[in-house]
């Protein structure tokens, strides 16, 4: 265990195996109900209508300028991680980096299900590439520095918008402390090359990419963030934990 973590909670209730099994079966009933609800919501998500993307976005990539349609490669579906990395920043957001740390192992499996993946940020491509190399990531990291993609999809805000008292984020008008925000968007491409926006999620919805949290939730300590200054205060860039 991390020497900086101190468990100050009281010990758990201790029972015999039979009592534990009864409690576990009660919880299992709730877990199964949650799984069925998740399946229902997923089916409803797949039934959402689509919106055609007509803006001719061009992204800076290692292979040169590419359109949104070209980011699909040979797949008909594309998932985008909206990565918080603004022009002028020395490194990407540590929480977005925590999300991104989970991507590489999934890439081959996603491709087998006709899904391409790319991270998109507003910082210039050389800055993104240097950071990607530092972090050891293999997924594609492309720049929207010369287009309005991040703003159009609700993850970048102008100073005027922020000064107005609220921005439109996560389908709600709300105050927001940063010009950058995290999110995930999904797109589809038809046989004619037309691109459609099918889904986006923001806020705590991006935790779907953080399976470290899903694993922590199975343990007695859980996320163990209640006494921190803010959730994820413990997270560092993965090459910075020893120096934290």
Residue with structure tokens 């950071």? 131
At 194 the pLDDT is 97
Looking at residue 162, its pLDDT comes to: 87
Same domain, 30 and 150: no
**Could you tell me if 26 and 125 lie in one domain?**
no
pLDDT band for position 2 (50/70/90)? Answer: low
List, for residues 134-182, the tens digit of each pLDDT value: 999 999 999 999 999 999 999 999 988 888 888 999 999 998 888 999 9
Compute the Cα dihedral for 227, 182, 132, 79 and give only its sign: positive
pLDDT tens-place string over residues 61-106: 999 999 999 999 999 999 999 999 999 999 999 999 999 999 999 9
137 with 57, same domain?
yes
Domain identity same for 84 and 190: yes
Instruction: State whether 98 and 38 are in the same domain.
Output: no
35 and 60 together in one domain: no
Residue 1 has a pLDDT of: 43
Q: What is the mean pLDDT of residues 55-61?
A: 98
Residues 27, 111 within the same domain: no
3-class secondary-structure state, position 16? coil
Q: pLDDT class for 233, splitting at 50, 70, 90? A: very high
CATH (domain of 77): 3.40.30.10
CA pair distance 94, 233, nearest whole angstrom: 10
- Say how far apart CA 55 and CA 148 lie, in whole Å: 9
Instruction: Write down the pLDDT at residue 165.
Output: 82
Q: What is the mean pLDDT of the chain?
A: 94
pLDDT for 164 equals: 86
Q: Could you tell me if 184 and 209 are in contact, meaning their C-beta atoms sit under 8 angstroms apart?
A: yes
Number of domains in the chain: 2
Give the angle subtended at the CA of 152 by the CAs of 57 and 103, to the nearest 5°.
75
Query: Does 47 score more than 50 pLDDT?
Result: yes
Residue 3 inside a domain? The answer is no
Distance CA 39, CA 32 (A): 11
Q: What is the pLDDT of residue 145?
A: 97
CA angle (225 as vertex; 223, 228 as ends), nearest 5: 160
pLDDT value for 90: 94
């Amino acid at each position: 265990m991390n020497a900086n973590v101190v468990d100050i909670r009281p010990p758990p209730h201790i029972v015999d195996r039979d009592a534990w099994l009864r409690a576990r079966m009660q919880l299992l009933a709730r877990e199964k109900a949650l799984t069925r609800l998740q399946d229902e919501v997923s089916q409803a998500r797949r039934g959402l209508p689509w919106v055609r993307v007509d803006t001719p976005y061009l992204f800076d990539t290692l292979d040169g300028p590419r359109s949104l349609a070209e980011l699909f490669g040979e797949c008909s579906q594309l998932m985008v991680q909206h990565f918080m990395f603004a022009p002028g920043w020395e490194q990407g957001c540590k929480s977005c980096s925590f999300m991104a740390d989970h991507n590489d192992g999934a890439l081959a499996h996603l491709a087998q299900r006709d899904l391409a993946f790319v991270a998109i940020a507003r910082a210039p491509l050389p800055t993104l590439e240097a950071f990607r190399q530092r972090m050891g990531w293999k997924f594609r990291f492309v720049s929207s520095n010369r287009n309005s993609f991040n703003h159009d999809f609700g993850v970048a805000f102008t100073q005027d918008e922020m000064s107005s008292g609220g921005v439109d984020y996560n389908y709600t008008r709300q105050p927001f402390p940063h010009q950058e925000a995290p999110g995930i968007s999904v797109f589809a491409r038809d046989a004619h090359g037309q691109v459609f926006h099918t889904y986006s999620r923001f806020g705590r919805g991006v935790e779907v990419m953080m399976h470290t949290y899903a694993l922590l939730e199975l343990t007695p300590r859980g996320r163990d963030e209640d006494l921190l200054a803010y959730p994820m205060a413990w997270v560092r860039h993965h090459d910075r934990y020893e120096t934290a």
